[in-house]
């Protein structure tokens, strides 16, 4: 399933599909474009069906881009496989608020 990210209400984005090495570049660009349109976002990741270290890197890059704009970005329903990768990389605190 290809990756998609779309508005899901005020200050909310919904991501779905695979967030992995194959989709990371396109996911990064799509997310950056949406994040740039507002000062505060919560990204619902419940629809992510697969994720790997490249997907975790995308989430970290989105956070970095938001911080550079003095915007707020948080995630909810981070998939367990991505949390496990974040945990062993000492990044879990960035993904879970």
Work out whether strand 4-7 and strand 40-51 pair parallel, antiparallel, or are unpaired: unpaired
Q: pLDDT at position 22, please?
A: 97
Give me the CATH topology for the region 4-89: Transcription Regulator spoIIAA (3.30.750)
Task: Give the gyration radius of the chain's Cα atoms.
Answer: 12
Tokens of 58: 């995308």
In this predicted model, what pLDDT tens digit does every residue of 25-44 receive, in sequence order?
999 999 999 999 999 999 99
**CB atoms closer than 10 angstroms to residue 79:** 17
What does DSSP assign to residue 79?
-
Residue 44 near residue 14 (C-beta atoms within 8 A): yes
Parse the chain into domains and list their residue ranges: 4-89
In this predicted model, what pLDDT tens digit does every residue of 44-68 receive, in sequence order?
999 999 999 999 999 999 999 999 9
Q: pLDDT at position 5, please?
A: 98
Residue 84 near residue 53 (C-beta atoms within 8 A): no
């Amino acid at each position: 399933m290809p990756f998609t990210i779309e508005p899901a209400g005020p200050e909310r984005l919904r991501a779905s599909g695979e967030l992995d090495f194959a989709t990371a570049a396109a996911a990064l660009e799509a997310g950056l474009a949406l994040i740039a349109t507002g000062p505060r976002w919560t990204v619902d990741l419940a629809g992510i069906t697969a994720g790997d270290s490249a997907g975790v890197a995308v989430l970290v890059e989105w956070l970095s881009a938001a911080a550079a704009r003095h915007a707020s970005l948080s995630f909810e329903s981070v998939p367990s496989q991505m949390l496990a990768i974040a945990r062993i990389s000492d990044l879990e605190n960035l993904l879970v608020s």
